[in-house]
Amino acid sequence: MVTECFVPLTTAKQVSGAATVRTVTYDEGLFCCSAMMLHLTLQQMFGAAKAILWVLVPLVVGLVIGGYLFSESQPRSLLALHKCERTCLQSNELMGLIASVGLTKFPGVVPSVVLETDKTIVIKHPFPEARIHYVIIPKKDIKNIAEVSEADAEYLMDIFSVVHELVKEEKLSQYELLTNGPGNQAVTYLHFHLIAK
Q: What is the mean pLDDT of the chain?
A: 76
Judged against a pLDDT cut of 60, whether residue 3 lies above it is answered with: no
What is the arrangement of strands in the sheet containing 192-196, beginning at the earlier edge strand?
Answer: 113-116, 120-124, 132-138, 192-196, 176-178
53-109 pLDDT, tens digit each: 777 777 777 767 666 676 666 665 545 555 555 555 567 777 777 777 777 777 777
Judged against a pLDDT cut of 80, whether residue 6 lies above it is answered with: no
- Find out whether 81 and 88 touch, Cβ atoms under 8 Å: yes
- Find out whether 156 and 136 touch, Cβ atoms under 8 Å: no
The confidence score (pLDDT) of residue 91 equals 73
The confidence score (pLDDT) of residue 98 equals 75
Q: Could you tell me the fold of the domain covering 82-196?
A: HIT family, subunit A (3.30.428)
Judged against a pLDDT cut of 60, whether residue 12 lies above it is answered with: no
- Find out whether 155 and 140 touch, Cβ atoms under 8 Å: yes
Helices (H) and strands (E) in the chain, counts: 3, 7
High-pLDDT (> 70) share of the chain, %: 64
14-23, 41-50, 95-104: which range is least confident on average? 14-23
Q: Which one-letter amino acid corresponds to residue 197?
A: K
Residue length, the chain? 197
Judged against a pLDDT cut of 60, whether residue 23 lies above it is answered with: no
Please list the residues that pair with 196 across neighbouring strands: 132
The confidence score (pLDDT) of residue 39 equals 63
For residue 142, the 8-state DSSP code is -
The confidence score (pLDDT) of residue 174 equals 94
What are the domain boundaries of the chain?
A: 2-69, 82-196
135-151 pLDDT, tens digit each: 999 988 888 898 899 99
109, HSE (Cβ side, Cα atoms, 13 Å)? 9
Mean pLDDT to the nearest integer, 167-194: 91
Mean pLDDT to the nearest integer, 33-59: 70
Query: Higher pLDDT residue, 130 or 35?
Result: 130
Distance CA 187, CA 195 (A): 18
- Find out whether 139 and 165 touch, Cβ atoms under 8 Å: no
Alpha helices per DSSP H over 70-143: 91-105
- Find out whether 78 and 93 touch, Cβ atoms under 8 Å: yes
